[in-house]
Amino acid sequence: MDVKTAIYTRETIRRFTKGISDEKLYSLLEAGTWAPNHRKREPWRFIVINDAIGYKTLVDKYRELNRDIMYLEKMIEKNQFPTMVVTILQKNEDPVIYHEDLLAHGAMIQNIQLAAWSEHIGVVWKTQFVTPTFGAKIGLTENEVVTGFLLIGFFDENVRTNERTRTSITEKVMRIGE
Ligand SMILES: Cc1cc2nc3c(=O)[nH]c(=O)nc-3n(C[C@H](O)[C@H](O)[C@H](O)COP(=O)(O)O)c2cc1C
């Protein structure tokens, strides 16, 4: 699949039939890390949950925080859990560096999404699971922040429900000059 086709046809996938192998996962993460990043800081690290033990550990940690984890529990019950990746950003006291590194994370995550899509693998980039207290539970330091929970996996191409629309680009562009 060429890059433009991947960009235009990719859609967020929220229902998965199964996760992906570690080998495939590492190749997608590697594709992610070829994203542009200023001064080659490579400002990311990842936590991977790719088996039932990992999911159960996660559920226990959420339970300790009294969070609703039905969504995760159902996946374990059905044995249909996607691969989960937590993308982690090193905070920086310099607001310019922090800003640049956060932007680099967006590029990195989109690289992962497009590389996955080109191999018929779906991704949802979730921020809704992210809380400061949860970060500490999964081993983040005070200087780190979660930029995404990526759920990655195979999906049934016939049950896609995501209506994708975009505003016409002419409404988003202002011009200076001719
Ligand atoms: C920074 C960011 C955070 C997101 N967080 C969530 C989320 O918490 N839950 C969710 O279901 N989707 C989340 N999404 C996915 C968006 O809802 C999705 O990209 C949007 O509906 C557009 O659909 P598309 O990706 O198919 O073009 C997030 C996307 C981005 C870029």
Residue-wise pLDDT tens digits, 101-149: 999 999 999 999 999 999 999 999 998 777 778 888 889 999 999 999 9
Q: How many domains is the chain built from?
A: 1
Tell me how far the alpha carbon of residue 124 lies from the centroid of ligand 1, in angstroms.
7
Is position 178 within any domain?
no
Strands of 5-121, DSSP E: 44-49, 83-90
- With a cut of 90, say whether residue 76 has pLDDT above it: no
Ligand 1 atom 10: the closest Cα is on which residue?
126
CATH number, domain at 76? Answer: 3.40.109.10
Tell me how far the alpha carbon of residue 18 lies from the centroid of ligand 1, in angstroms.
20
- With a cut of 90, say whether residue 72 has pLDDT above it: no
**Percentage of residues in the chain with pLDDT exceeding 70?**
99
Q: CB-based contacts of 138: which residues, under 8 Å, 6+ apart?
A: 47, 58, 61, 86
Is position 81 within any domain?
yes
Largest Cα–Cα separation, the chain: 60
Is position 177 within any domain?
no
- The pLDDT assigned to 35 comes to 98
Q: How far is CA 142 from CA 47, 135, 150, 153, in A?
A: 16, 9, 21, 30
Ligand 1 atom 23: the closest Cα is on which residue?
12
Is position 38 within any domain?
yes
Amino acid at 74: K
Q: How confident is the model at residue 18 (pLDDT cuts 50, 70, 90)?
A: very high
- The pLDDT assigned to 51 comes to 93
pTM across the whole model: 0.94
Considering the chain, what is the average pLDDT of its residues?
A: 93
Q: CB-based contacts of 20: which residues, under 8 Å, 6+ apart?
A: 28, 83, 121, 152, 153, 154
Q: Which whole number is the average pLDDT over 16-36?
A: 97
